[in-house]
Chains A and B, each alone.
Chain A
Amino acid sequence: MHRLPTLLSGIFLVFLASWLGLVAYPALQLGRLTPVADADNGGTLPPVYGGQAIAGQRIYAMEGCISCHSQQVRQTSITSSDVERGWGVRPSVARDYLRDSTAFLGSRRLGQDLSNIGVRRPDAKWHFVHLYHPSAVCDGSLMPCFSDLFLVRKIQGQRSDEALDLTGADAPKEGYEVIPTVEAKNLVAYLLSLRHDYPLPEAPIKKTGPAK
């Protein structure tokens, strides 16, 4: 290997192995997965996102939520703690991310896994208050306050329906209210759409045992 062409060919061929396995294969196989029909209501699985949720993905990327939150429930052959903790009824599979523009799989859990947060916390108002001041809702949370996603404004006439119900030190001054901006609403719409609780051919939902 004293000649450049020989060395380059060798490097090319050896490197090709991992490239084929980890780039070409996913792109050609996983990248061509299609939605499956939903027997229950004639739609498709995974379900289609609404426009607000699609816009919310941009906010998720922008605020760097992926730095602290993952969005994958691990296979039970590796660990069942994700499923047992209630972070999902079944492990995540590739098809679950079909509708996303970016797969926010994440690699660090400084905060909870979010792949099924739409199931655990279906209430938009809870999300708004949580984004505004996380440690007021979850004591000891490391999450920063996303107060820039909200507006504090003077109450005009009647208190707005969208105004957050804040108490104590978080509550705005007398006569003022905190309302979510469009970005906050989009982000929460995206969070509410995060649910992998439907079965797929490769990921059935296992019967969990007798009723409570």
Chain B
Amino acid sequence: MNHDHHIHQHENGTEETNRPLSPWLVGAFMLSLCWGGFYLAFNSGGFRQDVYESNAVNWAGGGAQAAAPVDPKVVGKRLYTQNCVVCHQPTGMGVAGQFPPLVGSEYVLSQGNMGENHLVMLVLNGLQGHFMVKGQAYNNAMVPWKQLSDEQIADILTYIRSDWGNNAPAITPDFVTQIRKETAATTDSYTQEQLMAMPAIKPATVPGSSPVKK
């Protein structure tokens, strides 16, 4: 290693020359600054605090993500977790002998003599006494949930009809409203006999048309 340099004194110190910058360099820098400016202008969501998606430019104001509809299954799952999971479990399997499963349940899927109205009625007004689900006997009480709104009940039912292998059409809030009106006089929880005494109503799959009475 050459050590002489650090004792050797320069003759002319550390003078700095001032050769001009290459024009190519200046050009490249200017170009990149321009790019930066344009990028920032068009990808900043109008510099709004509530816009998080960077390709949503909206200079006129009003968040670019306003009015996107909410997925009922997602809301339904959240509500299910808050309200129903205690008995019916996160897996929808219930507790053997105590709380019936929702997976493959004829009540949930509106199979056989069951209509969607039965499902909505038992959620609104509750169920008590002996009842059979998937061939198993139960003797328990389900509390009424009429304090939930029509939208909430519709979302929960839509969710349980679409998860865990269940596959049944969604329930609309309008249908819940209709059933709630029809059963407004009911004060006590249904027994299975009372529930099945009412004819099944299966809403048509086309929204807006009147439901079909079986």
Contact = CB atoms under 8 A, between A and B. Distances in A.
A123 B55 CA distance: 38
A165 to B, nearest CB: 16
A206 interface: yes
A53 to B, nearest CB: 15
A134 to B, nearest CB: 21
Contacts of B158: 211
Contact of B73 (A75, A91, A211): A211
Interface string B62-88: 010110111101110111011001000
A211 B163 CA distance: 10
B169 to A, nearest CB: 7
Chain A interface size, under 10 / 10 to 19 / 20 to 34 / 35 or more: 20 to 34
Interface in A162-212: 197-199, 201-208, 211-212
A91 B50 CA distance: 13
A198 B53 CA distance: 18
Contacts of A76: 53
B167 interface: yes
Contacts of A93: 52
A212 B167 contact: yes
Interface in B36-67: 49-56, 63, 65-66
Contacts of A119: 77
Which of B75, B85, B152 has the most chain A CB atoms inside 10 A of its CB? Answer: B75
A156 interface: no
A40 interface: yes
A101 interface: no
A155 B12 CA distance: 86
A212 B162 contact: yes
Contact of B75 (A40, A91, A201, A202): A40
A211 B169 contact: yes
A197 B65 contact: no
A29 interface: yes
A45 to B, nearest CB: 10
B90 interface: yes
A197 B81 CA distance: 12
A205 B170 CA distance: 18
B79 A40 contact: yes
A188 to B, nearest CB: 15
A138 interface: no
Contact of A204 (B70, B73, B77, B79): B70
Contacts of A199: 70, 75
Contacts of A207: 68-71
A90 B71 CA distance: 11
Contacts of A29: 49
A122 interface: yes
B70 A122 contact: no
A75 B53 contact: yes
A211 B74 CA distance: 12
Given A29-B49, A211-B162, A41 B82 contact: yes
A76 B65 CA distance: 12
Contacts of B78: 40, 197-198
A77 interface: yes
B90 A123 contact: yes
Q: Which 4 A-B pairs have the closest CB atoms?
A: A202-B50, A77-B55, A77-B53, A204-B68
Interface of A: 29-30, 40-41, 75-78, 89, 91, 93, 119, 122-123, 197-199, 201-208, 211-212
8 contacts: A41-B82, A75-B53, A201-B50, A202-B51, A203-B65, A205-B71, A206-B71, A211-B158
